[in-house]
């Protein structure tokens, strides 16, 4: 479907079995490699191969209302893309909370250098 603003391609030429096979190959390669750089590259490739397509239909009672909703959706999509590009981790706040509990246990040790490190962080 082609409109003045965008193009949508549905039912691309790839077979689902071939795509699933490639996804499993990429996951295997990620598990087997030791290089962090390669893992990041393969992870990006896996994301591109396995990502699906979503259709968001926007409606409203006036053109101004529709445009406002479209702008909000674009803002949300751009925020999501930025989070993915910057490697924002879902649940990162909970991870920080749990890690501080562990760090508090280490802080109770009387290692002077370790205590200085915790004060810096």
Angstrom distances, CA of residue 27 to CA of 32, 38, 59, 106: 9, 12, 39, 35
**pTM confidence score:** 0.37
Mean pLDDT taken over the chain: 75
pLDDT tens digits for range 67-90: 888 888 888 878 877 877 777 767
pLDDT for position 79: 83
DSSP state string for 87-113: TPPTTHHHHHHHHHHHHHHHHTS--HH
Query: Residue 66: which pLDDT band, with cuts at 50, 70 and 90?
Result: confident
pLDDT for position 14: 67
Which of 8-12, 68-72, 89-93 shows the highest mean pLDDT?
Answer: 68-72
């Amino acid at each position: 479907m082609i409109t003045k603003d965008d193009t949508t391609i549905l039912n691309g030429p790839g077979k689902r079995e071939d795509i699933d096979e490639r996804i499993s190959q990429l996951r295997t390669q990620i598990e087997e490699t030791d290089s962090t750089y390669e893992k990041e590259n393969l992870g990006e490739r896996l994301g591109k191969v396995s990502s699906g397509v979503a259709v968001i239909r926007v409606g409203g009672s006036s053109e101004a209302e529709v445009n406002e909703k479209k702008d909000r959706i674009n803002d949300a999509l751009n925020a999501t893309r930025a989070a993915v590009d910057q490697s924002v981790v879902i649940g990162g706040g909970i991870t920080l909370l749990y890690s501080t509990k562990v760090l508090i246990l280490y802080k109770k040790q009387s290692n002077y250098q370790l205590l200085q490190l915790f004060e810096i962080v």
